[in-house]
């Protein structure tokens, strides 16, 4: 099976399973999405969604957040892990949004990645889900599945992203990265993975499912 045939099969399968995948992180606008994605680093989406209601009740825009003491932010987001670093980033980026962007979240990769605590993956999520710009955020689920499905041998998420962008049509990127995440959580888990019961791996996966 060629990579083109694999890609077609994967897209058809995921479209059938997840025709309208929701964004896993609860948010109401670009700013709250940005903060939620920042908090999700090395933390589950479920945990983030448990923490953000209290944080956003306190401050749900950069103007309010910039006035909140870093220690208060850290106290609220502690369950997400890395709270000292994340709380400082949230405070600092909120002030930068006010000073440089009139309180708005910028809609370019360059400006987003210049914000404290915002890497390429976070920027990609915001660009794709808040602004509808084609992007392919690659997290650990997507990195793992791309290898299992023999779509990429990338040693890091950057290479995997480049490989997937070459294989799949740009118009599919924004929905496809969500579909793969949901599939990875439900059918193609990191542990206790049964190749024969995995719809996609049983069809296109590598022979040695050791990664």
User: Which residues does the annotation mark as catalytic?
Assistant: 121, 139
Q: How many CA atoms lie within 13 A of 32 on its CB side?
A: 20
* Structure confidence at residue 191 (pLDDT): 87
- d(Cα 78, Cα 28) in Å, to the nearest integer? 22
- d(Cα 6, Cα 153) in Å, to the nearest integer? 15
pTM, whole model, 2 decimals? 0.91
CATH topology of domain 30-131: Endonuclease III; domain 1 (1.10.340)
Contact 27, 36 (CB under 8 A): yes
In the chain, what are the domain boundaries?
3-21+136-204, 30-131
CATH 1.20.1560.10 correct for 3-21+136-204: no
- d(Cα 194, Cα 45) in Å, to the nearest integer? 24
Q: Which of 72, 71, 28 is nearest to 53 (CA)?
A: 28
Per-residue tens of pLDDT for the chain, all 211 residues: 888 899 999 999 999 999 999 999 999 999 999 999 999 999 999 999 999 999 999 999 999 999 999 999 999 999 999 999 999 999 999 999 999 999 999 999 999 999 999 999 999 999 999 999 999 999 888 999 999 999 998 789 999 999 999 999 999 999 999 999 999 999 999 888 888 889 999 998 765 444 4
């Amino acid at each position: 099976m060629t990579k083109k045939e694999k890609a077609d099969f994967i897209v058809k399968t995921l479209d059938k399973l997840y025709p309208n995948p929701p964004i896993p992180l609860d948010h109401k606008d670009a700013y709250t999405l940005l903060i939620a994605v920042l908090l999700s680093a090395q933390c589950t989406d479920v945990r983030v969604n448990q923490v953000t209601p209290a944080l956003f009740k306190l401050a749900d825009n950069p103007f309010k957040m910039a006035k909140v003491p870093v220690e208060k932010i850290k106290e609220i987001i502690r369950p997400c892990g890395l709270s000292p670093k994340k709380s400082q980033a949230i405070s600092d980026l909120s002030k930068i949004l006010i000073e440089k962007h009139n309180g708005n979240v910028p809609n370019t990769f360059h400006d987003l990645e210049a914000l404290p605590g915002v890497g390429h993956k976070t920027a990609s999520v915001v660009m794709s889900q808040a602004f509808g710009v084609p992007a392919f955020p690659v997290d650990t689920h997507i990195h793992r599945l791309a290898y299992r499905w023999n779509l990429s041998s990338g040693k890091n998420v950057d290479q995997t992203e480049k490989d997937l962008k070459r294989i799949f049509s740009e118009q599919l990127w924004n929905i496809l990265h969500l579909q793969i995440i949901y599939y990875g959580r439900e059918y193609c888990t990191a542990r206790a993975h049964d190749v024969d019961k995995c719809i996609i791996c049983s069809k296109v996966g590598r022979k040695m499912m050791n990664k």
